[in-house]
Amino acid sequence: MTAPRLMVVDPSVVSAEDEGVARVVGDWPGTTTLLRPALVPGDGPRPRDPVAADGVVVLGSAASVHDPLPWLSDLAAWLEPLVTGAAGVPVLGICFGHQLVAHLAGAEVAYLHPDRRRLVGVVETVLEGGRLLPGRHTLRVVASHREVVVAAPAGFRVTARRPGVPVDGLEHESLPVFGVQFHPEARGEFAARRGFDPAGVDDRVAADGDRLLAAFRRVVLEGR
C-alpha cells in the first residue's frame, strides 16, 4: 500500500500560515502536499486537477467565499466534488474553509455583525453530536472571522455552537466532510498577527485544537 497522502490548502492572502500548517500535519505518517493558491499564483488546485490525496484540509483566509477571485473560483470548482461525495475523500474546512464547504453545499454565509467587524480572540465552543469527537465537549478555541454560516445546509448537521455563532461546527450526515468556524490550528504566531495576546493561546487551547485535528487525521487513515 502507498503512503497516506494529506493535502493542505492554505488560502491566506497576506502571509503564509506555516505554524498552522504544522499543527494540521501533526504526526501524519505519510506525505503532505501544501498548496497556497492566493499567495502563489498558479499553485492550484485547478478545477479539473485530480484529488491526489487521501484527505484534504482547507484553512482560513481573509477572503470571503463571495469574492470574485480567480483562485477562489478554481478552488471552489475543485472542492465541490469532495463536498458532494463524488470524490470520496475526507475534507476538513477551517474558518474560511468551513464557510466554503457550507457555501458549496447551499448554505448562506453572512456577516456576523452589521458593521462587518472581526471577532478575534479565545472563546469557548460546545461540540456535541459529531463523529470527530463523540460526546459533549466544551473546547477553548481561537476565533478570527467576520462571517458565519447562518444555518447548516441540507444533508449536514450542526456539531458545535457558541453565542452568536449558530454553526460553529458542522458535518455531513453520512460523508466524511467536516467544518469548524474556529481555528484548532492557531497558536501564538496566529494571535500576534491578529492583534491579541499570544499568551491567551494557552496549553488548554493547544490541547483542544490538537485533539480535533488528530481526530480528523484518524478519519483519513481509517478510510484508506
Decide if 95 is catalytic. yes
Residues contacting residue 56 through CB under 8 Å, at least 6 positions apart = 6, 7, 8, 9, 79, 82, 89, 90, 91, 92
Closest CA to 153 of 110, 196, 103, 190: 103
Residues 24, 25, 26, 29: is their CA dihedral positive or negative? Answer: positive
Cβ within 8 Å of residue 114, ≥6 positions away: none
Give which of 34, 50, 109, 42 is closest to 82, Cα–Cα.
50
Please list the helix, strand and coil fractions of the chain in percent, rounded to the nearest 5, in that order.
Answer: 25, 30, 45
Among candidate residues 95, 98, 103, 172, the one labeled active-site is 95
Q: CA distances (Å), 201 to each of 107, 137, 197, in order?
A: 31, 18, 8
Residue 185 is among the residues annotated as catalytic for this protein: yes
Amino acid at 197: D
Which of 128, 171, 185, 222 is flagged as catalytic? Answer: 185
Residues 93 and 170: their CA atoms lie apart, in Å, by 10
**165, 182 Cβ separation under 8 angstroms:** no
Could you confirm whether 19 is annotated as catalytic?
no
From 128, 173, 183, 222, the catalytic residue: 183
- Return the active site residues: 95, 183, 185
